[in-house]
Structure 1
Amino acid sequence: MTSAHAAPAPPAHVEIDGVPAGDPGLLTTLMSGFGHFTAMQVRDGRVKGLGRHLERLDLATRELFGEELPGDRVRTLLTGGVTAAGLRDCSARVYVYDGVRVAVVVREAAPDGPGAPQRLRSVDYLRPAAHLKHLGGFGQSYHGEAARRAGYDEALLTSSAGEIAEGAVTNIAFWDGTSVVWPSAPCLTGITMALLEGPLGSVRRRVTLADLGAYRAAFVTNSRGIAPVSGIDEVDFAVDEGLMERVHAAYESVEWEAL
């Protein structure tokens, strides 16, 4: 099966700060900004939701490049990267580029346990192809940095009509006193979000900035953990300790899968 995305011809020469690149073709591929990835926490050679990560990578590779990405290949590369890093616990990312070239990046582990409360600033911006964890996220990075410079912790992505979709690098959920509600606007279904949906008995429905007063609490999730939301724009939320205990207990109940 051939790639659905036409790769550019290899460049004649690439240099960085005056130093020629060792592999111009590879560097050009990595710099293309066309690809996708998944991010996870590894603890003693195990990952929560590993099967979901492998499925995400395979489906996105088929959609973007018209080729499959076998889970066994990813596991082998991921295990090799984690082993080479010499870290028992770590944060790991798997990037996939044209030609199904796979890059593994390993960093220090994110802290375990509850995250600090987050204050969010809404912005009129939605990610293109929101169902994919794709590269080239300039818009979300731009709005995220602008929010932090303005004294917030994260940007909250919304439509021009104020419909809430997701955080710049998180999913968001709301608590109405009865149900955990995830916004139904197009967004990435994060792995942590997917692992929580069933155990929490949560629902998806339309949520707008105008609806915020109807909710008692909110929290955000991503590959680095779970944190309560202390406010969105001028709307304050109390940290519901009971809710957060329930959310963390649901996440802790998810079994670890060995690489």
Structure 2
Amino acid sequence: MTTRLPTTTDVTRLEIDGAPATADALRARALDTFGHFTAMQVRDGRVRGLGLHLARLDAATRELFDQGLDGERVRDLVRHALAGDGGDGAAGVIADASVRVYVHAPDGAPSLMVTVRPPTELPAAMADRAQALKSVAYVRPVAHIKHLGGFAQAYHGRAARRAGYDEALLTGPDGEISEGAITNVAFFDGHEVVWPDAPHLAGITMQLLEAGLADAGLPWRRGPVRLRNLPGYRAAFVANSWGVSPVRRVDDLELALDEKLMATVAGVYEEVPRDLI
């Protein structure tokens, strides 16, 4: 039985550079897949790891468009979209939301599209979040950037769900694991957490966990992890902007739900203060 985690598909608000999106502006973005984005969960107008989100956007904009991206501009545009004063009739401040910031450069300068959707909440009980992962032979190109070329991730993710799984697990040559389709993944050998070091996106939640796990008495490292070696691990979990969830199965390999591990990992994440946008 799969764990159907919540999804957020309905866009409540959509603004481009602080104004309601026009048909022409949306058409330009629909025809231009060269860009990048970040995704965040906003609660009471605050975000965990806001500085990391801003640094991600700036670094990717420099790499893709040879220009920096001012973090204050990003914050202003997100606040504007959440405030609902863009002239599109969607009045009222939204305090809790799933927010994405997309960066294109249709005229040479960075242009930002902000989308606001309902917030995503994981089930409270870890057992209700536990995921089954289906391994697939695919590694994202330019994996260190959260870019817009996500067709293969969506394809493999949908195929995994049709096969009764919750998420695709991306692997390269010799079954080396890199990441999930929309998550980072970590494995626990009973002593330390191992993050796969194959090409992957360093997710914001992953970075926040890395900053706090050792202080919580849980050492971690990055290293190669291959499918054939998974029986040597005691447990695993995935992490993304929604939070952290245990892994209960990879292909046909059942994994135990390590309550102590997940309590520590979730505790580290929950203790990260939210930054005011």
TM-score by length of 1: 0.89
Secondary structure, counterpart of 1:248 in structure 2: helix
Are 2:100 and 1:93 equivalent residues in the alignment? Answer: yes
Shift of the alpha carbon at 1:108? 0.6
Superposition CA RMSD, Å: 1.5
Which structure 2 residues correspond to residues 156-235 of structure 1 after superposition, within 5 A? 156-201=169-214, 202-235=220-253
How far residue 26 of structure 1 moved from its aligned partner, in angstroms, is: 5.0
Would the alpha carbon gap of residues 87 and 25 (structure 1) be closer, same or farther in structure 2, given more than 3 Å must change? Answer: closer
- Check whether the contact 2:243–2:269 (CA below 8 A) recurs between aligned residues: no
- Which one-letter code corresponds to 1:81 in the other structure? A
The runs of 5 or more residues in structure 2 that have no matched partner are 1-20, 85-91, 215-219
Equivalent residues in 2 for 1:247-258, closer than 5 Å: 247-258=265-276
Q: Does 1:56 align with 2:56?
A: yes
State the SS of the aligned residue for 1:161: helix
State the aligned residue count: 239
Give secondary structure in 2 for the equivalent of 1:133. Answer: coil
Question: Residue 106 of structure 1 aligns with which residue?
Answer: 116
| Cα deviation 1:149-186 (Å, max 9, x = unaligned) | 00000000000310000000000001100001100101
Give the structure 2 partner of residue 7 of structure 1.
Answer: none
Q: In 2, Cα distance between the equivalents of 1:203 and 1:193?
A: 12
Q: TM-score, normalised by structure 2?
A: 0.83
The change in CA–CA distance for 1:23 and 1:108 in structure 2 (over 3 A counts) is closer
Give the CA deviation at 1:188.
0.1
Runs of at least 5 residues in structure 1 that lack an aligned partner in the other structure? 1-20
Cα distance in 2 for residues equivalent to 1:27 and 1:73 = 24
Q: 1:146 aligns with which of 148, 159, 172?
A: 159
Corresponding letter in the other structure for 2:67: E
CA distance in structure 2 between the partners assigned to 1:66 and 1:22 by the alignment: 27
**Kept in 1: contact 2:53–2:204 (CA 8 A):** yes
1:133 aligns with 2:146: yes
Q: Secondary structure at the match of 1:69?
A: coil
Q: Is the 8 A contact 1:195 1:251 kept in 2?
A: yes
Point out 4+ residue stretches in structure 1 off by more than 3 angstroms.
21-26, 112-115
Contact 1:43 1:90 in 2 (8 A): yes
Q: For residue 6 of structure 1, what is the aligned residue in structure 2?
A: none
Task: Specify the SS of the correspondent of 1:91.
Answer: strand
